Amino acid sequence: MDGFQFSNRNQKIETYGTISKNENDSLVFKLSNFDLKYFNKFFNEYSLGLKGDITGYFSCFNLLNNFYFHSKIKTTGFQIAGVDYGTLNLLSDWDDINKSIGLNVYSERGNVRPIDLSGFYFPEDNMLDITLNVNNANLNIISVFVKDFFSDVKGYLEGQVRIQGKLSNPEMYGYIDLKKSNLFVDYLNTRYNLSGRCNLKGQKLIFDNIKIFDSEGNPAIANGDLQFNNYNKLLYNIVIDAKNFIGIDTKESNNPYFYGKAYATGVAKIYGDLNHVQIDVSAKSNEKTVIYIPVYSGTTIENSNFLTFKTRNVKPVKKVETTSFDAITMNFDLEVTPDAEIQIILDEKVGDIIRSKGNGTILMNIDTKGKFNMYGTYEIFTGDYLFTMRNLINKKFFIEPGSKLTWTGNALDAKADIVAKYNIKTSLYPLMSLVNDTSPDYKRRIPIECKITLTDKILKPNIAFSVDMKEATDKAKE
């Protein structure tokens, strides 16, 4: 084969050489300014955003017997997911004594090599022995693999990893340090900073006391591991221990059924695989927590995808029925304390809202298929209820201690046992004059206690009113 060539403007691929049983004969592929973006179609699932211009050669020897090769390839302007890694170099050569291919792949950005991989591949045994050095490499490279959970991943990686074993099932040993790292958790609407060392042992990435800080500097510690299981199934088991930590900071646009800003102390366990994620949280509320739970009529949960998750913009493939993170289950065991303010929104348009502080244990079960169940009793210590009735009444009633809200399943189907009072000092003269009693005594202002009682389902409560006029005359009370 001599001078076989593909070209497109300044891009060129040339092929020349001989295929025979002679081990000295070779087939050479030469590339000039080949655009790396053409490889993106092989990674559609991850949207790697590969960019760069490839120049160099790839020589194949002894194709009909024990194949080996050597190459020298340079990619300028090398980018992954919008991150510039400078120039990527790939060098390889055949070691006839050890019957191995020596490999050296490294990126150059100025005087720094963010990625430097070197070692040997033994084709007869299909074995690897490679060392990867990472020096100030951009953490954003992982964003394409975790975009269902995280976005705006920032920071740097440093470390050394040795990769050994079968090409199809290697083991890794070494460490990776997180430097100035932070990320945004989409479904919590929170940003966290991370630092610490991750160790690799066999087919596990181990998190050992990784420090996490929320946007206000409150701390948490993460321990656990990611297990690769022959690299065809990812399992993870991570435990986060937090203190006065921002757990969520969501708006109604993130989740119209349950939102707010929550500070909590407790433990979160995250485990599962790429088909199903389970998050179990056991926590106690802290100061500055404000949670909103809309339960006004017309709200529905069934078949609502009320948790918003980003999905990859890719064409559907027949073998894949769902995206990786279609099945997420979250279980919350929450000790609600008087430090937290809970607002039950009955009618957002007119401001019909119960604001309260109290105590209780609330269990919540949430998933991405529309399930949102709550269980438990919340006892109100202090609070108020803005009672509205069309345009006729708009009064703030103060809730009596001991009032309760109870959930036994559907989050919208809470049962109320609430007593609230509205105190006013006024004259009974206008009222008594309607029955032709115009005694001057009624012009005196007296304290009046108006009481409203809500029972049964909070969406359609039974409402009872009563008035207590302790200083009024018996005739006025009648």
Render pLDDT for 56-75 as a digit per residue (tens, 0 to 9): 988 887 767 766 677 899 99
Tokens of 82: 């919008």
Question: CB-based burial of residue 12 (10 Å sphere; 0-12 exposed, 13-18 middle, 19+ buried)?
Answer: middle
SS3 state of residue 299: coil
- Tally of CA atoms within 13 A in the half-sphere of 311 that contains its CB: 13
- Strand stretches in 257-351, DSSP E: 259-273, 276-285, 290-294, 327-336, 341-347
Residue 42: band (very low, low, confident or very high) from pLDDT cuts 50, 70, 90? confident
Choose the weakest-confidence range: 123-132, 210-219, 304-313, 410-419. Answer: 304-313
CB within 8 A of 301, min separation 6: which ones?
A: 257, 370, 371, 372, 410, 411, 412
What single-letter DSSP state applies at residue 400? P
Tokens of 286: 């802290």
Cα angle 109, 113, 117 (rounded to 5 degrees) comes to 135
Quick: pLDDT tens for 70-100: 789 999 998 887 788 889 999 988 887 888 8
Mean pLDDT of 435-439: 62
Whether residue 298 is predicted with pLDDT greater than 60 in this model: the reply is no
Whether residue 470 is predicted with pLDDT greater than 80 in this model: the reply is no
Tokens of 471: 């200083």
Percentage of the chain exceeding pLDDT 70: 82
Mean pLDDT of 185-194: 91
What is the tally of helices (H) and strands (E) in the chain? 3, 28
Nearest-angstrom CA–CA distance, 203 and 229:
7
For residues 137 and 115, the answer to whether their CB atoms sit within 8 Å is yes
Residue 428: band (very low, low, confident or very high) from pLDDT cuts 50, 70, 90? low
pLDDT top residue among 38 and 281: 281
The predicted model scores a pTM of 0.78
For residues 219 and 341, the answer to whether their CB atoms sit within 8 Å is no
Q: How far lies 20's CA from each of 5, 92, 168, in Å?
A: 21, 22, 29
Mean pLDDT of 50-55: 90
Nearest-angstrom CA–CA distance, 156 and 140:
8
Average pLDDT along the chain: 82
Mean pLDDT of 414-443: 72
The 10 Å CB-count burial string (b at 16+, else e) for 389-409 is eeeeeeeebebbeebbbbbee
